A and B are shown apart, each in its own frame.
Chain A
């Protein structure tokens, strides 16, 4: 017999009746209902030749346009790697040459309106190169002229092919190895196979930019007049592109009325050492969020067909680009990976800053490996569904298979709470600097005791500014304590005291940002490609701080600093909290060229973290994917996007990927993340609450680099901590250890998250609206979350 228990947890409140009349108008921060159904018509593949067939897919090739077509046997949907459109001149010539009306009709393909020959070449091509010769040029492998490309089978295999492309215009040759998977594609571009003198101008490579593109406007042939004239929009597939902006963002395919810029997701953030200028300045606009994962996807229709694509090699040089319709005045929505091989930068030759723009002599040395997996249906057959939930599942499966993520043993009990403490920071003094102390070791003990007495026991904490000199002036590996905060012995006693109660406290430190008052740059700071130290000015954000100019530590040096702190902390601490190097990846150069590549920097971090993770838990602030294997706690997980205006929906893609493999914490609730909507979002996005606290009021920090911590005094937060934790824990503890299967939006403002474990299934229904809603037969009060749990017997 199967017993079904429904727990309804009403986590919030009935608001004024006045508000209930209003329609819920969603913003780009909401997830909207799924797109409309797409037409599932199978296009003609007459111009294609069969390449290979598996149990799940059939692969075809069109030689003249360099297009792979993939027929998904599960739903009959055909994916084409290119737009499959002819060059206008060639079509018109063919029509002219056709002798009969019937032949004319066959030859008279629609003529693309918004594209010139270059872009038609790009839209069809399997790969496109970018080169810079004064200005930027694009050249597709199926360009109208000056390019030869041939696809040949790799001897001894039946599912591997190589496309050899000769870009004669600039004398550049490269080979793309294509592997046809069970239902997917894999591209490899070894650096060794990029040859020719054109390497000096070659800057980037795009892979199948128009795979999954939607839109287009074409001129159609009119048999009555025997000429082209009727211009109309082509069928625009409803759907969206998923990009890894923040927690994950959908950009729905739309017919826009204004031109937009494109989304550029520089995976793992920009390499500051190869940016155009060596000097950067923080402004009053917040930085956009950098992708932590090299993944994107496109979905067509409502759980009908989709693909997810991820880089297995070369991710550190990858930009994920999504061009919404009207970008470049093109009538298409399209999304693709761009691998960077060279950059233009400003070479400074004197101290005044005079210089000129130039490129590096050598290409970035790395191999590309990009995998595409095709998805179908709603997931009822056990395969990942054809939407962003399925993309997350497919990418997560890949990471688990590669050992990057490991499923945690079944978890039960309360959700963890993250409490960070700001102990001190530096401000200017009449002579030198003064360490402003906001929390002592004794204060931490007192506050934690009080929180435990409030009934919250699953706590972990990080101590920020514990060194003499604090984060501002103490070198990251400094092991000098400030007696007024606490001696080493005091810290030790504190850690051990709470470890006995199951509270894990760690020393927190930012390891990447350095300044000349903290350490000499020689041998410690990374250098820009123009051989100057990278420089970052923050005066606009911290006008009163004692230091406003910064550089960035060499990743190898930062890794050594981390090891040093870990060595000293390990005897009494169970974990370490690490920021800066968790998501800042950069290379370094000298006059001879690169001294540390991005790959080497990643390896240096990964190696240090991997070793440390064997003895300590690592709490990393928003770590990039190459750190995940060593991560125990993912801190400051984004719960939104950069909010480009063309982004239409925010989704918890990141959280779905990470679910059940590590603890994930949201941003500090102190700073505009405490309202009811935010609490619901924590539940929706499955993140644990986090706070930053101090004993003394935060205004003491106003002249320090911590002046952005506007409010931290525990006295002010006691009630809020309890309130937020109890609500979030009340809902999410019900699904601890459950797998997160899907996320659905039945109506604007309503989200249903579906979970299951070995025996039970559960749903959390979140009502963001101001009205009472009926969802799946349940009444959901306004601004509340309800857990519906079904237990099998």
Chain B
């Protein structure tokens, strides 16, 4: 027997994909926010990696990971701190101190000093890198602090050795101690949140009554963290917005926009890139950009399964230098880790490059993100911003649109429009001047020859056609409302047919206005609109006005009959409809900064229409000013009453239909079941 080896070396350089966690292994979906700020699913950002169930933990409460990959676990139930070597997958050391009662918070400094917060012992312990006790931080002696409970739950330490302590039941804020244990004050405090009834009480109660009320106190913090750059972060429970804060040195919140989160944030960690990781104790992990934008959210509150990646209770997390998230399950006593996918890492890289101003490099990374998730708002935004900074506005605008970023779309559009204007303004202006000159000479020519232009003649002939004349009369009423509606009263102008056509036209304009504005101003997407509400709203409003106005004027000696009441809105609405049309057109050409123009147009249209309507009522019904006001108010009141009646009828009708449907279903169930 002879053996021959043939070796084929296929060194495929193209295979240099980052080796990250992979595949088909997620146990919960990853969510992100879409352009409408809805939580939507996205490619897996993190995948369950390791689940360590063999440490014998009892109610573990906190963990920390240092640069060497050693995991420090506050094993509260066993009164110890466990040191676990994540690289080798084995326990490294166990720190038990006789003073430990229920250690629930730990922090390790760059120098390897370990701080352990123990609410049971009412102390913070400080150990050196070899886990020898350095000192114990007891309750500060400051008189300011004498009435305050001192049960340190969580601790963080800045580069100067100052301690930031979250104390059990301390609503005054985060306790700040100096290196020597002196009380420096409260670093930051949550704002007091009043319920609606509390706010009402504050508004209407007397001072005596208010003193009898129980004081509203701020919500306590749930955790505190000092990142590698020395910035302090806190988390708060029971609030959905701004539960995560990034603090300036004076304690103020650095996040400008509202930070969206779940309601039970229990821990926060920030890595060297500034990426913020927050834990929600019901089993979610949330990841934010340095600016507080939510990037990913994964996990689940399904806690009745012993499945990797799911938690019964998640009190703490930490992130190692490879970006792997380590998290605790305090009820089950597990440590679980999550490895970032290629998708998550690419997102972080792209964000980092963008922050550094390396737009071209970030563009490449964002395009990779987009390859993995073409629905990624982050990627579309990132690509668009990178293009924007590269002054490639044409490329950026499409991505801003997909990302739903109207503000930046508007910026890019302004640039494009500017370029367009610069390029086309001279020829356009010259053309306009030429047209004016041409028109001037044409008119002179016709005048000289005593001729009217063909189009002019045709137009005049068309205007005399009865129905068209009645429709076009809507252009006369806003300009000469008194005269025009006098003619309506005399039944010399306007017709029911004309008004009907106008209502049809208005409906088209109204629907176009609602659905087809330019991207910047079209805030509600067509698929999110309630067509029934729009159609019913339009016709119901007009119908009710006509009916109520007729009823009111019938008993108030109004001259107008039903047909005239029917015509009043039709011949009064033209200004606002004109405004709609104008806004519709302009919405494609104006940017955000010019939105005031649209507001003015709309306001003008509405005011003009209201004036026309008022004058229409006055003239058609031959009312004095005061009578008109009374008529308008009564019409409005009648409309409200009618709306209530209609709603009652609708609800009852719906219930009747539901009742009939139930009977039908029951019949079917009894026949076929």
Contact = CB atoms under 8 A, between A and B. Distances in A.
Chain A bound to chain B: yes
Interface of A: 1-13, 15, 19, 22-23, 25, 27-29, 256-258, 260-261, 283-286, 288, 351, 427-431, 434, 522-523, 527, 531, 541, 543-544, 590-591, 638-640, 642-646, 666-667, 671-678, 681, 697-699, 701-703, 707-708, 710-713, 716-717, 719, 723, 726-727, 730, 770, 783
The 3 closest A-B pairs by CB, nearest first: A285-B300, A675-B22, A6-B5
Contacts of A257: 53-56, 333
Contact of B374 (A6, A676, A697): A697
Interface in B358-396: 370-376, 380
A770 B322 CA distance: 15
27 contacts: A4-B2, A13-B11, A15-B19, A23-B88, A27-B49, A258-B56, A258-B57, A284-B28, A285-B302, A427-B527, A434-B527, A522-B672, A638-B24, A642-B27, A644-B308, A671-B43, A673-B24, A674-B23, A675-B21, A676-B19, A681-B23, A698-B374, A698-B375, A699-B402, A710-B375, A711-B375, A727-B15
A430 B673 CA distance: 38
Contacts of B51: 27-28, 645
A640 B24 contact: yes
Interface string B281-314: 0000000000000000001111011111110000
Given A644-B308, A676-B22, A678-B23, 15 more contacts: A4-B1, A8-B9, A25-B89, A28-B308, A258-B333, A431-B531, A643-B27, A643-B309, A645-B51, A676-B15, A707-B40, A710-B43, A711-B370, A711-B373, A717-B371
Interface stretch (B31-39, B103-111, B246-254): B31-39
Contacts of A677: 19, 22-23
B49 A645 contact: no
Nearest to B309: A643
Given A643-B25, A672-B24, A9 B310 contact: no
A554 B385 CA distance: 51
Contact of A29 (B9, B25, B375): B25
B20 interface: yes
B662 to A, nearest CB: 6
Given A257-B53, A285-B302, A643-B48, A675 B373 contact: no
Contact of A531 (B22, B373, B669): B669
B295 to A, nearest CB: 15
Contact of A716 (B48, B371, B402): B371
Interface residues of B, number: 89
Nearest to B18: A675
In this complex, the member of A28, A699, A727 whose beta carbon has the largest number of chain B beta carbons within 10 angstroms is A699
A4 B375 contact: no
A537 to B, nearest CB: 15
Nearest to B671: A522
B341 interface: yes
A13 B13 contact: yes
Given A258-B53, A710-B372, A2 B1 contact: yes
Contacts of A428: 527-528
Nearest to B29: A284
A535 B374 CA distance: 31
A10 B19 contact: no
Contacts of A522: 668, 672
Nearest to B525: A703
A291 to B, nearest CB: 16
A721 B121 CA distance: 60
Given A288-B305, A710-B374, A590 B38 contact: no
B527 A703 contact: yes
A11 B8 CA distance: 10
Contact of A25 (B47, B88, B526): B88
Contacts of A261: 304-306
A258 B11 CA distance: 46
B23 A673 contact: yes
B5 to A, nearest CB: 4
A527 B307 contact: no
Contacts of A531: 669, 673
B227 to A, nearest CB: 25
Interface string B638-673: 000000000000000000000000100000111011
B280 interface: no
A667 B23 CA distance: 9
A313 to B, nearest CB: 30
A285 B374 contact: no
Contact of B25 (A434, A672, A711): A672
A221 B264 CA distance: 53
Contacts of B356: none
Contact of A286 (B21, B26, B53, B669): B26
Nearest to B86: A25
B343 interface: yes
A672 B44 contact: yes
B454 interface: no
Contacts of B306: 260-261, 644-646
B16 interface: yes
Given A4-B1, A645-B307, A672-B24, A429 B527 contact: yes
B17 interface: yes
Contact of B4 (A3, A642, A678, A710): A3
A7 B6 contact: yes
A335 to B, nearest CB: 16
Contacts of A9: 8, 10
Given A7-B8, A672-B343, A708 B17 contact: no
A288 B17 contact: no
Contact of A727 (B12, B16, B332): B12
Contacts of B40: 543-544, 702, 707
Nearest to A720: B371
Contacts of B305: 261, 285, 288, 644
Contact of B17 (A10, A25, A675, A730): A675
A288 B310 CA distance: 12
A151 to B, nearest CB: 38
